[in-house]
Amino acid sequence: QMSANDCQDPPEYWTIHGLWPDKGEECNRTWHFNVTEIKNLMSDMRHYWPDVLHSSLNRTQFWKHEWEKHGTCAATLEILNSQKKYFGKALELYKHVDLNSCLLKAGIKPSSSYYQMTAIKEALTRFYGVTPKIQCLPPEEGEKAQTIGQIEFCFTKELQLRNCTALKGEPDPVQADLKLQTEELSVCSDALPTYYPSEV
């Protein structure tokens, strides 16, 4: 579907989208992304945090965007106050959460049949002890099922897992961040059958 964007070989596992503070975006516009600061992380970055939307020539574009929009705000925490710490800690959290093996252990794997969203939620909550936020692409024209698109875990400032329950009056920081073509991800509906495709 995204041949125009050179997405020939999408990974067959969950990858990282970002590490986002709840409040604030682009907190320091003079603190530019510098790929040499994360050169020791490159093999992990390419594997776990790939840019599937831009050509391989521009594969740092996604990381640059995440640093400038979110990393510069996350850097108010000492544990995340450099590019190396920000990207390194995101990789560490990804490996600790280990979503790929958790879903497999729960018997949730890409399939041509549908899942109930409540079953996916329950499996994740049972495994992690916290409620993540699961986002979907809405059903396409004439379809009845939503497609699982993103699973968001929430952390305290000490980077401990916590429930992803939006506090009253807080805007949802995710909605505007990722547009897949013209469709946007939104919180999945419990009522709709859910498609977890092996290939999108």
Element (H, E) at 149: strand 146-152
Question: pLDDT per residue over 71-84, tens digit each?
Answer: 999 999 999 999 99
pLDDT, residue 8, reads 63
β-pairing, 146-152 vs 193-195, is parallel
What is the layout of strands, in order, in the sheet containing 146-152?
115-116, 193-195, 146-152, 133-137, 186-187
Q: Where are the domains of the chain?
A: 35-97, 113-166+178-196
| Catalytic (active site) residue 66 | yes
In whole angstroms, what is the distance from residue 9 CA to residue 12 CA? Answer: 9
Maximum Cα–Cα distance across the chain: 49
Confidence (pTM): 0.86
Going by C-alpha positions, the residue among 141, 149, 159 that lies closest to residue 179 is 149
Report in angstroms the alpha-carbon separations of 122 from 51, 53, 116, 181.
30, 31, 10, 30
| Catalytic (active site) residue 70 | yes
- Catalytic residue selected from 70, 78, 183, 199: 70
Query: 113-166+178-196: what fold?
Result: Ribonuclease Rh; Chain A (3.90.730)
More reliable by pLDDT, 158 or 177: 158
DSSP code at position 54: S
DSSP code at position 192: S
- Catalytic residue selected from 12, 65, 66, 183: 66
Check pLDDT > 90 for residue 102. Answer: yes
Determine the average pLDDT of the residues in 150-177.
75
Check pLDDT > 70 for residue 88. Answer: yes
Check pLDDT > 60 for residue 173. Answer: no
